[in-house]
Amino acid sequence: MTGMERPATRAGIDAALRRALEYAEPVGDDADVPVGAVVLDPDGAVLGAGRNEREAAGDPTAHAEVVALRAAARRRGEWRLEGCTLAVTLEPCTMCAGAVVLARIGRVIYGTRDAKAGAAGSLWDVLRDQRLNHRPEVIPPDLASPDVASRCGEVLTAFFARRRVR
């Protein structure tokens, strides 16, 4: 943490995850996994937002976090996003965790764990790796309200259930 961020409260965590959920909700017959992310400035204003666009864009790097980080950097006019918070509905993967570290994000809030690819403590812990020069504060799902955290997982569960039916 750079010192610019306010302490995370449950209300603030929930509000950030609700914003990310707005981008995770599937649109029509969306083929992309419904993950949403927002980058908030130190005052809580949205600097950038994104959803998974890998299928839509044909881009393997178009994860929600990367889309949101790119939008925030464009809006801020620089790649350093110090003092900002990334809220994402699913635990970041190694690529996204690496992008978070490189962008100097101050805090990461995520809504559901990813046992198969999570890099914020589930499978790896890139975000808190002591060997790296930057380590954001990590706010896991347990610190969110159960209804908000469960909604993050439900969006994904429903998406994959629909795909199995097809």
**How far is it, in rounded angstroms, from Cα 113 to Cα 119?**
9
pLDDT in tens, 106-135: 999 999 999 999 999 999 999 999 999 999
Q: Which two tokens stand for residue 44?
A: 């809580």
Which pLDDT score is estimated for 79?
97
Which pLDDT score is estimated for 142?
95
**Domain 10-165: CATH superfamily, name plus number:** Cytidine Deaminase, domain 2 (3.40.140.10)
Percent pLDDT > 90 in the chain is 87
Which pLDDT score is estimated for 29?
67
**What residue spans define the domains of the chain?**
10-165
Q: Is 55 in the active site? A: no
Helix (H, G, I), strand (E, B) or coil at 146: helix
Asked if pLDDT for residue 18 goes beyond 70, the answer is yes
The answer to whether the beta carbons of residues 89 and 36 sit under 8 Å apart is yes
The position carrying tokens 């999570």 is 118
Question: How would residue 3 be classed by pLDDT, with cut points 50, 70 and 90?
Answer: very low
Q: Is 96 annotated as a binding residue?
A: yes
pLDDT in tens, 53-84: 999 999 999 999 999 999 999 999 999 999 99
The answer to whether the beta carbons of residues 81 and 73 sit under 8 Å apart is yes
Distances in whole angstroms, Cα of residue 93 to Cα of each of 7, 41, 130, 134 = 25, 22, 18, 17
Q: Of 166, 152, 154, which Cα lies nearest the Cα of 29?
A: 166
What number is the average pLDDT over the span 137-148? 96
The residue annotated as part of the active site, out of 65, 78, 91, 137, is 65
Q: What is the DSSP letter of 125?
A: B
Q: Of 104, 144, 149, which Cα lies nearest the Cα of 127?
A: 104
Q: Which two tokens stand for residue 90?
A: 């699913």
Which pLDDT score is estimated for 27?
67
Asked if pLDDT for residue 147 goes beyond 50, the answer is yes
Neighbours of 165 (CB within 10 A): 6
Provide the mean pLDDT of the chain: 93
Which pLDDT score is estimated for 166?
60
